[in-house]
Structures are given as C-alpha cells and as structure tokens.
Amino acid sequence: MREACMRTVTHRQAGQLLHNKFVVVLGDSIQRSVYKDLVLLLQRDSYLSVSQLKSKGELSFEQDHLVEGGRLGHMNNGTEYREVRQYRTDHHLVRFYFITRVFSRYMESILADFKHDLKPDVVIVSSCVWDVSRYNRNWVPEYKENLNKFFLKLKAVLPEESLVVWNMTMPLGKKIIGGFLVPEIQDIGPTLRYDVIEGNFYGAMLADAYGLDVLDLHFLFRFSLQHRMKDGVHWNALAHRQITCLLLAHAAQAWGVELPNPVAPDQSKTSLLEYKQTPNQSFCRPGGSMTDSGRYGAPVWQQQLPYDGCGPHFYEDSLPTDSQFGTGYFSFENKTDNNGGSYNIHCGSNGRTAPAVHSSTGNNLVMKQKQTKHQYNPYDRHNPTRHYRY
C-alpha cells in the first residue's frame, strides 16, 4: 500500500475504529504530540493548539491523567526524565510513555507491564534522536544492539494479533534550538539531521526484519518542512493530524475495515488518502464500510474544520539536496509519481494549500500491508475480554 496524500479521519470514525482498543504510544516529545492528537480526535474534530503542543508533564490534558513523572516528579531535559500519561473512557484506553532510549532498564519495566497486565492492541513506537545524540558519540553499534533487544523482547511479550508500528524520525532542521539541545551536545547540532537519517535506516531495516510495520515519516514529510516549528525539531498541528490519519487508516486496513472516502467539494484544494489494492495484497480485503453513524453502509462526507494555525511562528527551511542525504539510503530518493504529479495538504476552509509529499515507488517502507489478523468485531460493544483499569 502507498499513502499518496492526506485523508480526513473524523472524530466519530476514530472512536468507532478504536472501540474497545488499548493503544500505547512510546517515544519522545514528537510521540507525545502523536498521543495528544489521538486523544483530542477521540473527543472532537479539532486541532491541537500551539500551547498544547509545547506543554509537557502537565497534570491533565484534554481529560487525560498524568500517571507518573512530569510535574509529579522533577521536570528536566535529562535522559532520566519520565512521563506516563493515560486517557481512559468506557471504551477507549490510550497510554503514553516518554522514553529517551529504545532499550533500557526503564523499557524493560514497561515491557514487564505489558507481559503481566493488559496487552496493547496497538503499539506506536519511535526512538532515535536521543539514542544517537545523548549517550555515545560512537552510537551506531549500541543503537543497533538496543534495537535488536527491543524488537526481540517486544515480539515475545505481545500477542501475535497486536499491531506494532515503528515511526521513523521526522526531518530535523539545519539549526536546532530549544530545550532538547543541551550544552553538552551543542557541537553536534549541525550534523544531527544526518545522524538521524542513518539511525532511521537501521531502525527501519530491523523493524522490517522482525515483521513490524514501518511508517517513514522522514520520507513523507520531506517536502512539508513549512509545517516544522521554529526549533527545527517539532511540528505543527496540521502535521500531527496527518500522522494520526495515516496511522488510523493503516489500522483500519489491518483490521479489515473500510474507512469511507469522503468526496471533497473542491478536488483542486483537498487531497485524500487512497488505498490501492494490488493482486498480491488481496488477503487484506475490507470487512465493511464504516460511516459516522457507526453502521455499515455508504460513505458519509464530513466537512473539514477550519484551522488558522499556519502563522509566522512556524518555520520554513530550505530543502537539502540529494547529495546531502548521503549515499545508499534509498528511502530519500527524489522521485515523481507515475503521472508526474504532486499532492497537497489542505490547510483549512480558507483554501490555502501547502506542498506535501510525492508518491514514490522507491520507498517500500511506507505503511506495509498487514496480514489478516483474527480480531473481534471492533463495533461489538460486548467484549468480555476487555476490562479497562488504571
């Protein structure tokens, strides 16, 4: 499957798709925003504010709860910082763990929780920037070893039907500012974006070798740098909503659920994510069509909400040339689609559009198709095996 561009997943669709599902998000501050956007979408069709994107460790965010760390502990930018958040309703459970290393004693304790407690239905994980910058200047051997340990133990702990997605790190800016770049690593700031490309390669290759899904966010957002924030690391609400839609669309396909394809009033201004079924992928046929009424039937169009967050506080960086990416990393080749066209991200009802990504046949790691999984009906309100607790 190839993701061509943005599609809209509504609040009701997200709620129905993740009905009686336990979702875990593991990673750094980018992954925290992935968690926050998902929690927000489960409640209403709106975007994260700038203050919500920048906040960390708060006692409550949109009716979630800080379980551990954050403002309950010592707020800092060090490798020992902890933050565990949880959003819980009668039929949804979403949890976030802040991690600074893909495998550590802390990660072992998280995996122990999975082993002895509730098993996640979905795990969305990413760890790269901290691994390649904070622990060892010669980070490659240790990072590879830790990736292997993590994937091996994660596979051993989770049931086979759990959906695991490895998010590759998004493009960093030429100049990085803010709390992440502490004085001890100031000198590696200008080259960190190249280390991330190399780290992405190892993470993607090993995740693929262990049979996990890979979402290449570096590749998908390489032409959307206007949605990166001034600090050169974090991204705005539009980018995070696109990530959420990509993740939910893939989960729907993995579970055999067809999300309706809304028909945009102006196709020149709104692009939608389309599934393309190939002959060798026929094993993952949709099990039905999901409308916002929660029943199977014809697609229902939902109007996109306006968003005025594209302002001067966002940062546009020039695109690096192909040679700057380094040789041998196939995912970053600048290729056009078969029709020579490009795609746009819709920026709201005001009609502004921003260039997004090209579809490339050279990148086979962008949301691979999952094999058929034996899942219970996600719309069944009576699931005797699901008991939510803190």
| Contact indicator for 105, 5 with CB cutoff of 8 Å | no
Q: Let me know the angle formed at the C-alpha of 357 by 249 and 45, rounded to the nearest 5 degrees.
A: 45
- Neighbouring CB atoms inside 10 A of 321's CB total 8
Listed residue (305, 306, 364) closest to 335, CA to CA: 364
What residues in the chain have per-residue pLDDT under 70?
1-6, 261-390
pLDDT of 259 reads 85
pLDDT digits (tens, 9 = 90+) for 14-26: 999 999 999 999 9
**The residue type at 42:** L
Reading the block at residue 308, the tokens are 């005025």
**The residue type at 374:** H
Question: DSSP string spanning 215-240?
Answer: E-HHHHTTT-GGGEETTSS-B-HHHH
- Neighbouring CB atoms inside 10 A of 386's CB total 15
pLDDT digits (tens, 9 = 90+) for 132-187: 999 988 999 999 999 999 999 999 999 999 999 999 999 999 988 877 777 777 77
pLDDT of 81 reads 95
Report helix, strand or coil for 385: coil
Query: If you compute the radius of gyration of the chain from its CA atoms, what whole number of angstroms results?
Result: 20
CA dist., res. 110 & res. 97, Å (int): 8
Q: What is the pTM of this model?
A: 0.69
